[in-house]
Amino acid sequence: MAAETLARAGVAVDLFDAMPSVGRKFLLAGRGGLNLTHSEPAEAFLTRYGERSDALRAAVSAFDGEAVRHWAADLGITTFVGTSGRVFPSDMKAAPLLRAWLHRLRNAGVRVHTRHRWTGWDHSTGELVFDAPAGRIAHQADATVLALGGASWPRLGSDGAWLPLLAARGVFIAPLQPANCGFDVVPTRAGAAGWSEHLKQRHAGQPVKPVAARLPTQPPEDSQQGEFVLTDTGIEGSLVYAFSARLRDEIARQGQATWLIDLLPQHSAAQVLAETRHPRGHRSLSTHLKSRLGIAGLKMALLHELLTPQQLNDPEQLATALKALPLTLARPRPVAEAISTAGGVRLEALDAHGMLRELPSVFCAGEMLDWEAPTGGYLLTACFATGRVAGHGAARWLKRARQHIG
């Protein structure tokens, strides 16, 4: 996006990518459908960036969800709004959009160099240095836009190797952390790693749905509905990602975090209590809960995993657990497994045009900046928006530099 913005301003642009082809993480984002942006109103959209909402307001407002859809349409890609409000290409694919985009960039004169990994600056000349197929090469740039990604999915190129290079130059950087990530649970059995062997063998990889979830500090009416997946060591999935930043930060503060799961979001607490109190006669608890509340399979297995026999056989405690089953989380999964990254170049390290205060003529954009958002199109939109800011900023810098020389 920065390259496109600069090319439109009449700037000669060289685009370097460490990988054999451009946009590999973009293509990964399109696996199963490319969620480009979201259709919700502007103010609600901005709140998805949490404490960075105000800092990103100008960039995202200037290139919001509607602007992303117009931009895709200009590339010949029609979009549609899904039932959740998420926006996708009509064919649900990333490759056609990427091909059209790269074609437009090349027609605008952008020179693309693949297999060029940036390794910093030459200490004597200030040139950009790359490891390339031909060996070490240097490139003189009048302005530089860095869009180096975070540290998630390092095999696609974004491995966070840039962090010490900028830190050595005095750039204010927050440690990289996983965002939109899964979590390991506190072991439920002595000597176990995460879930019991019985639960792992029978249910790992299965979705838990429909459910709702909340934090202990939230009232039940603030629960968020969705689904998640049981892993060998814990949980992952869209509903988990919606809470991942708060859960991660709580673990950092307290050493662990609790997530409350409502296994019966379609039932009120009073309805659930009435059913758990209903006499079951000679029927087993599993048979009773299946016939009265539809609890079976993985949901029943979770109850046995997380509750004591006394809790299971006490109607009041069981009803409470069915509406707020506490799951204790030990740690987020490693950043390399996460969908996205928190941390990176602090937004305070940039001026209003995306330029590093410590490094004039160097601009930063995308996931390498210290912001995060849930899945739902917010990640790509902010990457586009900050890339556009950096492109405009670099073009402005170059114009002023030429005027000064003139």
* pLDDT tens digits along 98-154: 999 999 999 999 999 999 999 999 999 999 999 999 999 999 999 999 999 999 989
Residue 404 banded pLDDT, cuts 50, 70, 90: confident
Do the Cβ atoms of 68 and 36 come closer than 8 Å? yes
pLDDT for position 188: 76
* pLDDT tens digits along 355-388: 999 999 999 999 999 999 999 999 999 999 999 9
Place of tokens 């975090």: 257
Place of tokens 């209590």: 273
For residue 192, pLDDT beyond 70: no
Neighbours of 121 (CB within 10 A): 17
Q: What is the mean pLDDT of residues 162-168?
A: 97
pTM for the whole structure: 0.92
Q: By percentage, how much of the chain surpasses pLDDT 90?
A: 93
Which residue from 59, 72, 68 is spatially nearest to 376, judged by alpha carbons? 68
Residue 191 banded pLDDT, cuts 50, 70, 90: low
Distance CA 218, CA 221 (A): 8
The dihedral of CA 32, 33, 35, 38: what is its sign?
negative
Do the Cβ atoms of 323 and 272 come closer than 8 Å? yes
Distance CA 8, CA 23 (A): 20
Element (H, E) at 145: strand 144-146
Long-range Cβ contacts of 162-170 (<8 Å, 24+ apart) = 162/118, 162/368, 163/344, 165/119, 165/120, 166/345, 166/356, 166/359, 169/358, 169/359, 170/358
pLDDT for position 32: 81
- Our CA dihedral for 250, 195, 299, 336, rounded to 10 degrees, sits at 50
Burial class (CB in 10 A: 0-12, 13-18, 19+), 196: middle
Element (H, E) at 38: strand 37-38
Residue 402 banded pLDDT, cuts 50, 70, 90: confident
**Which phi and psi (to 5°) does residue 57 adopt?**
-55, -50
Antiparallel, parallel or unpaired: β 207-214 and 183-185 = unpaired
Q: What is the mean pLDDT of residues 391-396?
A: 98
Our measurement of the distance from residue 172's CA atom to the centroid of its chain's CA atoms, rounded to an integer in Å, reads 22
* pLDDT tens digits along 277-303: 999 999 999 999 999 999 999 999 999
What SS3 class is residue 254?
helix
Distance CA 157, CA 117 (A): 9
Which residue from 124, 92, 46, 155 is spatially nearest to 378, judged by alpha carbons? 46
For residue 190, pLDDT beyond 80: no
The dihedral of CA 148, 168, 341, 377: what is its sign?
negative
For the chain, domain boundaries: 2-177+337-405, 183-332
> Is 2-177+337-405 a CATH 3.50.50.60 domain?
yes
**Which phi and psi (to 5°) does residue 328 adopt?**
-95, 125
* pLDDT tens digits along 240-276: 999 999 999 999 999 999 999 999 999 999 999 999 9
The beta strands (E) that lie in 274-394 are given as 325-332, 340-345, 362-364
Which residues neighbour 88 within 8 Å (Cβ) at sequence distance 6 or greater?
33, 34, 35, 36, 79, 80, 82
pLDDT for position 406: 59
The beta strands (E) that lie in 170-264 are given as 173-179, 183-185, 207-214, 224-230, 234-236, 257-262
Q: Which residues pair with 136 in a beta bridge?
A: 131
Q: What is the mean pLDDT of residues 347-359?
A: 97
Neighbours of 38 (CB within 10 A): 26
pLDDT for position 332: 97
Place of tokens 């790359």: 130
Residue 65 identity: G
